[in-house]
Homo-oligomer: A and B are copies of this chain.
Amino acid sequence: MNRADVIPESHLDLLTRPLFGHFATIRPDGAAQVNPMWFLWDGENLKLTNTTTRRKYRNVSVNPRVALSVIDPTQPYRYLEVRGSVVRIDPDPEGAFFQVLADRYGMAMDGPVADAADRIVFVIRPDRVSAQ
C-alpha cells in the first residue's frame, strides 16, 4: 500500500506547509503526553527530530503508537489528525535531519547542531487519518 494514499489530497497542504504539529505519545505508565513538534512529510512517512535524552524518545521506544494533529492557522476549524506507528528510529549523528527541519521552519542556525550526537529521527508510518 502506498502510504500517501492514507492522506486525503484535500488536506495534504497541512503536512507540506511548515506548520507545527502536536505530537501525542503514551508514557510508560500509560498516561497521554502531547507536545508541539516540527515535522516533515516525505510522501510516505512523517519524520520528526528528537534526542535520546527526551521523554518522547523513551515513550515511543516502549509504545510506538503515536498521533499528530495539525490545524490550519488561517482556518482553525480545518485540521488533520494522523495516527500511526514509529516504524524506525534512525540516528542523526551529524544533525543533518535537524538542519533540514530548521531550514523548513526558518530557524537560523549560527553553528553546528549542539546536541547532534544525541539526535535521532522518528519515522512514522501513517495508518489512519481524521480530517475536517
Which A residues are closer than 8 A to B by beta carbons? Answer: 20, 22-26, 30-36, 63, 65-69, 71, 73, 76, 79, 81, 83, 130
Contact = CB atoms under 8 A, between A and B. Distances in A.
A24 B69 CA distance: 9
A71 B34 contact: no
| Identical chains bound together, number | 2
Dominant secondary structure at the A interface:
strand
Contact of A81 (B34, B66, B79, B130): B34
A83 to B, nearest CB: 6
5 contacts: A22-B24, A24-B33, A26-B30, A34-B81, A35-B81
A67 B34 contact: yes
A81 B33 CA distance: 8
